[in-house]
């Protein structure tokens, strides 16, 4: 079974730009979560989607948004990038609530 696939693997953007990250979950998994990881803050929850519905959202500004498609693939978007948005963005999928979470390789975003 293929794992969670995230694209792109690396991204360099400048302040003010926007970025879209993509995530394909494990086949059969309908829940997709997004996390931001930085050395100072650790793993911070962004949002979770299940069957195209956002069920939970973390404490991030409205510049961070996401969506899920009918095939469970998910995208997250960050608009008006700031230097502090530089981080590893991780997508994870699971089979349902309280189920094990499996992470993709992540997208390393650098904002210059």
Binding site for other proteins (CB under 8 A): 31, 33, 35, 42-43, 45, 48, 50, 55-56, 58, 88, 90, 97-98, 100-106
Cβ proximity to other proteins: between 55 and 67 the closer is: 55
Residue 7 CB, shortest distance to other proteins, in Å, is 14
> DSSP readout, 6-75?
EE-SEEEE-TT--EEEEEEPPTT--EEEEEEEETTTEEEEEEEEETTEEEEE-S--TTEEEEE-TTS-EE
Closest approach of other proteins to the CB of residue 18, in Å: 24
Write down the least CB distance from residue 78 to other proteins, Å. 19
Q: 19 or 23: whose CB is closer to other proteins? A: 23
Shortest spacing between CB 76 and other proteins, in angstroms: 15
d(CA 47, CA 57): 4
Nearer to other proteins, 56 or 77 (CB): 56
**Cβ nearer to other proteins, comparing 17 with 110:** 110
Residue 97 to residue 99: CA distance in whole angstroms: 5
**Nearest alpha-carbon partner for 93 in 40, 37, 23:** 23
């Amino acid at each position: 079974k293929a794992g969670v696939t995230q694209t792109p693997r690396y991204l360099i953007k400048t302040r003010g730009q926007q970025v879209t990250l993509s995530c394909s979950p494990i086949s059969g998994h309908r829940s997709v979560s997004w996390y931001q990881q930085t050395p100072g803050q650790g793993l911070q929850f962004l949002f979770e989607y299940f069957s195209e519905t956002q069920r939970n959202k973390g404490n991030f500004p409205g510049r961070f948004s996401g969506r899920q498609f009918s095939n469970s693939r998910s995208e997250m978007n960050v608009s008006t990038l700031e230097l502090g948005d530089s981080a590893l963005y991780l997508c994870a999928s699971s089979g349902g609530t309280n189920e094990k979470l499996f992470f993709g390789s992540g997208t390393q975003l650098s904002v210059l």
